[in-house]
Amino acid sequence: MTMHIGIDLGGTKIEIAALSPNGTELLRMRKPAPSRDYDQTVRTIADLVGEVQQKLERPGTVGIGTPGTVSRRTGLMKNAYATALNDRPFKADIEAMLGRPIKLANDGNCFALSEAIDGAGKDADVVFGVIVGTGCGGGLVVHRHVLEGVNSIAGEWGHNPLPAPDDSERAGFSHYDGGEGTIEAFLCGAGLVHDYKRVFGETLTAPEIAAADTPQKEQTMVRYEQRMAKALASVINLVDPQVIVLGGGLSNIERLYDNVPKYWGDWVFSDHVETQLKPNVHGDSSGVRGAAWLWVDS
């Protein structure tokens, strides 16, 4: 029986899981990520794969979800917030260490694939996965196949400008120095915190704001929901997914699933919007599960 091994390489941890073909989890392990030591990162991943195969007494396919992607031009990593990976032949080095091919994808793509295979988007033809937390990433899956694109950046909606900005948004809005008007700047956790402080002069955490137990918090959440609706409407207009799945810390805000679809019809080019907005099924496990399913996506 084929075993699929998935690895989720994060900024602080490396998680590995082995799945059976039907998605049953056979084993899961986690180790701290030596994020600033490239060579040690490669060795740790290879050691974890060996340990899993030894414990389960069989080999498995290997897929890795990373905070970045492989440049099609150079074969080197790019766009990784774990900066030790950038400009390094990460995929090739892992394959050399293991002595066999692996599959590698951006963590947003792995999240989307996990939820499309056996999560909130199961049985849907087109699934767009969104991660809203520290940043704002995404991934697109069509017929259980991750679309990476010719530049390996498909699904990176967070780096587009916020669509249809109003006067308060047009000048740019960001927790970053210098200010910018990207979707990520408005919708990430720090963006929500920044918006509240910008209007009301007080610093609260994102969960405190999401509680919406004062008129000020409620106003901030409505602005956030409208911004998410505009941003997701642009996705719907472009790829028309059946399901959009939210992941990341802000996906735990339950009101988003009722309120955002109430707004997005104002910007979707259709008389009616059938797209469903759903919370993820696998939570923090979606990254590692999606990495394992990369071998199903063939």
Q: Taking 60 as the threshold, does the pLDDT of residue 179 lie above it?
A: no
Exposure of 142 by Cβ count < 10 A (0-12 exposed, 13-18 middle, 19+ buried)?
middle
Q: Return d(Cα 97, Cα 284) in angstroms, integer.
A: 27
* Per-residue pLDDT at 175: 54
Domains of the chain, residue spans: 4-111+285-295, 123-279
Contact, 25 vs 19, CB < 8 A? yes
* Amino acid identity at 106: N
* 95 token code pair: 């394959």
* Per-residue pLDDT at 177: 43
Which region holds residue 84: left if phi is over 0, alpha if psi is between -120 and 50, else beta? Answer: alpha
Mean pLDDT is lowest, of 173-187, 189-203, 275-289, for 173-187
Contact, 5 vs 63, CB < 8 A? yes
**Backbone CA torsion sign across 190, 193, 195, 199:** negative
Greatest C-alpha distance within the chain: 61
Q: Return d(Cα 9, Cα 32) in angstroms, integer.
A: 10
Q: Taking 80 as the threshold, does the pLDDT of residue 152 lie above it?
A: yes
Pick from 172, 176, 139: which is nearest to 157 by CA? 139
User: What does DSSP say about strands 69-70 and 126-132: parallel, antiparallel, or unpaired?
Assistant: unpaired
| pLDDT mean across residues, the chain | 92
Q: For 105-137, how does the pLDDT look when each residue is reduced to its tens digit (9 = 90+)?
A: 998 999 999 999 999 999 999 999 999 998 898
CATH superfamily of 4-111+285-295: ATPase, nucleotide binding domain (3.30.420.40)
What DSSP character marks residue 147? -
Does domain 123-279 match CATH 3.40.50.450? no
Contact, 187 vs 158, CB < 8 A? yes
Q: For 83-106, how does the pLDDT look when each residue is reduced to its tens digit (9 = 90+)?
A: 788 999 999 999 999 999 999 999
Sorted by sequence, the CB contacts under 8 Å of residue 47 that are 6+ apart come out as none
| pLDDT grade for 35, boundaries at 50, 70 and 90 | low
Query: What percent of the chain clears pLDDT 90, i.e. is strictly above it?
Result: 79
